[in-house]
Structure 1
Amino acid sequence: MTRSSTSFLAPAAALAAALALTACAMPAAGPKPAAVAKLAPTQGSSTTGTVSFYKEGDHVVAVAQVSGLKPGSEHGFHVHEKGDCSAPDGMSAGGHYNPGGQPHGALGSGPHHAGDMPNLKANAAGEAEARVHLTGVTVGGGGADVLGKAVIVHANADDYSSQPAGNAGPRLACGVIQAS
């Protein structure tokens, strides 16, 4: 290697090292959620988690991280009409959030409640993650605002057809959606 190429590489290596250190020092901050629901277990359950709501254009994205589920199981997962998780069984959260007066159904395939979301699918450790694009709801204003509503995780899978709520069974966890 000639002296001129060595002098070129040294500053380049120093620059690369400086950039690497800068990247390590910078926080890994993503967009801040507009709202968050902290899921607490209902009586007799150990299900907990967090559901974060992000504004993305003309829709809302809900990102869920839930634990304490039966390994390999599916669970109904919905926004409910009342931001009240005071009842031991979570029934104080009311029914599915449905400002448009639609029948219960599957998100993305015909009429459905604004609060209908796909089932959570637990892995072998009883944990579930989901990213759901919701249309017809807002965060922080409008007639279909989810702020002050609740998120419920149910014991059974939603069948997406039984009325009014998909036969998803008892409520395992409840969390009120609050501005973050």
Structure 2
Amino acid sequence: FKGSTGKYRVTADFNLKYFVVEAMTGNDLAKLQDDGSGAVWIIGEGIGKPKVSVNQVGWNTDKALCLVPLGNKKYQITVKAGESINSDNINFKFFHQKGWGGEFGGTDLTTTSDIVFVGDGKNGRDSGNLGIKTAKVLETGKTYVFTLDLAAGNKKAVLTIATK
């Protein structure tokens, strides 16, 4: 776990045999603050822990995934293609909280990834939703690290995707 110092809620899911780790502010789940601190959450299709096949987040906000706050307004999630993320089809987005409300729209988020694109409402995904580019796939079995950098501001988020 590479999260910054802070308070986290850790929940053991004995049925699926994994831990859910969520950033906290006091006794409440953390939310993204105007200054880029706090937490960022994923809601949508094609991603789930420990396996997307048995526990897809979907559009159920109760299952939102918390990105690990690294500090310096950076947030990260690690996934394995074909296991915790679909290798050929994703449709999820980043939110400011675990639930509906603030979200990253298509003009708030950019990426230079050669595999993943950001939806603009006209390119096959709703504004801000991530998709996999035509004729591309995440390589099954390979680990991918999605890092969201908010150093330039919450409306100028930069997504990088690296293999591990």
Q: TM-score normalized by structure 1?
A: 0.29
Which fold has the larger relative contact order, with Cα–Cα distance below 8 Å and residues 6 or more apart in sequence? 1
Higher-Rg member (1/2): 1
Answer 1 or 2: which has greater strand percent.
2
Q: Give 1 or 2: higher helix fraction.
A: 1
